[in-house]
Structure 1
Amino acid sequence: MKSIPFNLACLLSLALAAPAFADISTTMKEAMKGETSLYKKVATGKGSDEDAQKLLKYVKSLPAESPEKGDAASWKEKTDKLVKATEDVAAKKPGALQELQTAGNCKACHSVHKG
């Protein structure tokens, strides 16, 4: 019986410690939006390795989400490219910053998928 409170405490601590990368709105607000955003820092080469990893966690949540409008295949294609480009930046592959800047083009995605 002593293990039940312990297990509940462990689950609660994991839930509280887990980052809230649950939806498009959170990702946009916390990682992509603004001139000083995590995305801008990483895409311009000014972010740290930790910044790139954090951005990667955010963008990896996007393919599983459903956009406000637009075609699911288009959403998958755009978000998969963003994830791949972010992975390449985190792995320090040549040309990855340019790929990320292209894949992270706000207007290209918003014009098709933002309501």
Structure 2
Amino acid sequence: MKSTLFILALTGLSLTAAKAGEIDTVMKEAMKGTNSLHSKVATGKGTPADAQKLLAYFKTLPSESPPEGDEASWKEKTSTLIDAAQGVVDGKPGATKTLQEAGNCKACHSVHKG
């Protein structure tokens, strides 16, 4: 029970990490650099709290409009990120590898970065 409450509280706090309209914030806070939150979680070096925070960041992205490219592609790519991060949070086998692949910067930036 205590761990469930802790996770719920943590998730609530994490959801405030990025608000709608802040794609740049998500990129800077979660994706930028070799020691980014994404890198830590995708290589298995992050904590469960890191994985929850990354998932919360990713969940803000689908409601945004991409600077370039079409909405369908944006929704697909952001949904893939969310699913991959959720897999890590859920402890699914192979989830970190899936997250590494989903977080490929060039795959998204070549189509959507303004």
Report the TM-score when normalising by structure 2.
0.83
Bigger radius of gyration: 1
CA distance in 1, matches of 2:110, 2:17: 28
Paired AA for residue 19 in structure 2: F
Output one character per residue of 1:24-60: Cα deviation in whole Å (capped at 9) or x when no partner.
Answer: 1010011110111100000000000000001011000
What is the rounded CA distance, in whole Å, between the counterparts of 2:107 and 2:97 in structure 1?
Answer: 15
Structure 1's unaligned 5+ residue stretches are 1-17
Name the structure, 1 or 2, with higher relative contact order (CA <8 Å, separation 6+): 2
Partner residue, 1:9: none
Q: What residue is the counterpart of 1:40 in the other structure?
A: 39
Secondary structure, in 3 states, of the residue corresponding to 1:36?
coil
Count of residues in Structure 1 that have an aligned counterpart in Structure 2: 98
Give the CA RMSD over aligned residues.
Answer: 0.9
Q: How does 1:82-97 map to 2 (within 5 A)?
A: 82-97=81-96
Correspondence for 2:19: 21
Residues 55-70 of structure 1: matches in 2 within 5 Å? 55-70=54-69
Q: Sequence identity of aligned pairs in percent?
A: 65
Q: Do the aligned residues in 1 keep the contact of 2:17 with 2:57 (CA within 8 Å)?
A: no
- The answer to whether the 8 A contact 1:52-1:90 is kept is yes
Q: Deviations over 1:54-86 (max 9, x none)?
A: 101100000111111001000000000000000
Question: Residues 59 and 79 of structure 1 are in contact (CA less than 8 Å); yes or no, is this contact kept in structure 2?
Answer: yes
Distance in 2 between residues matched to 1:19 and 1:104, nearest whole Å:
19
**Runs of 4+ deviating beyond 2 Å:** 18-22
Compute the TM-score of the two structures, normalised by the length of structure 1.
0.82
Unaligned regions of 5+ residues in structure 2, if any? Answer: 1-15
CA distance in 2, matches of 1:26, 1:45: 23
Q: How far apart, in 2, do the equivalents of 1:37 and 1:107 lie?
A: 16
